[in-house]
């Protein structure tokens, strides 16, 4: 049975990651009565292909887009760490930041990137995936980042970790009843839905077709109309 009444934490790199990778699952988790928190390591301030917009301007745009998308899906809270887009591999304390969030929020389930996915080209995705998995695995030991003891943050370990957009999935979520919410949330990320050869408004109009085609491709081998795939790492009975 799908979980209900649980705390769910998503750790990702850029403001649109959760919606593109698993927005239908986010909507389903909220609909089933779970409390969802987002933590984005960056503001996505380099997520454009023009010099007409500065990184400072883009950061403001993408923060607003993220908040709007979260409202569509019913996410309780959005946290930004504010690190530079594309530079997360240079951040020395990312594991500590993620561990602090885990110990503070105390989620039952943690979701993040599959850092082991073959041919993952974005360095931020790889960096976040490794750091989040490490933080989730070790956060129940007080001697990893003992400075948190001073902050009165007790050791804590999520019961389950799911990796989204995995190289080798072993778990699928049927999003047939929430795919429209995923699409509406993605429309909030207007700065990020560009498509080569199409004007911005045309790209937004084509978005439902693109999202449904991908979700159908993921779901087809499982006999699901629209699905999102994950790698479930633990053996808990927490089923999203």
Q: Which helix (H) or strand (E) holds 150?
A: helix 147-150
pTM of the model: 0.95
Question: What DSSP state is assigned to residue 176?
Answer: T
> Residue 95: CB partners within 8 Å, gap ≥ 6?
131, 134, 135, 145
Domains of the chain, by residue range, sit at 7-232
- Find residue 161's DSSP bridge partners: 110
Buried/exposed 163-177: b ≥16 CB within 10 Å, e otherwise = bbbbeebeebbbbbe
pLDDT at position 39 is: 98
Name the one residue in this structure whose structure tokens are 């389903």.
Answer: 28
Q: Which residue from 223, 224, 196 is spatially nearest to 210, judged by alpha carbons?
A: 196
Closest residue by Cα to residue 73 from 132, 18, 128, 14? 18
- pLDDT of 199: 61
For the chain, the maximum distance between any two Cα atoms, rounded to a whole number of angstroms, is 54
Q: Which of 99, 183, 109, 102 is closest to 145 using CA atoms?
A: 99
Crossing angle of the two packed helices 179-187 and 55-73, in degrees rounded to 10: 150
pLDDT of the chain, 240 residues: tens digit per residue: 799 999 999 999 999 999 999 999 999 999 999 999 999 999 999 988 788 889 999 999 999 999 999 999 999 999 999 999 999 999 999 999 999 999 999 999 999 999 999 999 999 999 999 999 999 999 999 999 999 999 999 999 999 999 999 999 999 999 999 999 999 999 999 998 876 665 666 778 889 999 999 999 999 999 999 999 999 999 999 999
Q: Give the chain's end-to-end CA distance (angstroms, integer).
A: 8
Decide if 105 contacts 9 (C-beta within 8 A): yes
Contacts of 146 (CB under 8 A, 6+ apart): none
CATH domain 7-232 topology: Rossmann fold (3.40.50)
**40, 15 Cβ separation under 8 angstroms:** yes
Instruction: Tally the residues of the chain.
Output: 240
Which residue's entry shows tokens 């899906």? 73
């Amino acid at each position: 049975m799908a979980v209900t009444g649980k705390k769910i934490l998503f750790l990702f790199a850029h403001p649109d990651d959760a919606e593109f990778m698993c927005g239908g699952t986010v909507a389903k988790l909220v609909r089933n009565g779970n409390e969802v928190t987002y933590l984005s390591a960056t503001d996505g301030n380099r997520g454009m292909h023009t010099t007409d917009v500065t990184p400072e301007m883009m950061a403001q745009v993408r923060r607003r887009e993220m908040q709007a998308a979260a409202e569509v899906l019913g996410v309780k809270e959005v946290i930004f760490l504010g690190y530079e887009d594309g530079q997360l591999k240079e951040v020395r304390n990312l594991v500590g930041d993620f561990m602090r969030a885990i110990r503070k929020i105390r989620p039952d389930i943690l979701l993040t990137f599959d850092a082991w996915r073959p041919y993952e080209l974005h360095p931020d995705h790889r960096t976040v995936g490794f750091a989040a998995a490490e933080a989730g695995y070790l956060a129940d030991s007080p001697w990893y980042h003992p400075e948190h003891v001073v902050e009165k943050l007790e050791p804590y370990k999520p019961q389950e970790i799911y990796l989204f957009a995995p190289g080798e999935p072993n778990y699928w979520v049927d999003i047939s009843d929430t795919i429209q919410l995923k699409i509406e949330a993605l429309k909030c990320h207007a700065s990020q839905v560009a498509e080569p050869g199409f004007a911005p408004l045309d790209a937004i109009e084509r978005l439902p077709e693109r999202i449904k085609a991908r979700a159908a491709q993921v779901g087809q081998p499982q006999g699901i109309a629209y699905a999102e795939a994950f790698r479930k790492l633990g053996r808990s009975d927490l089923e999203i």
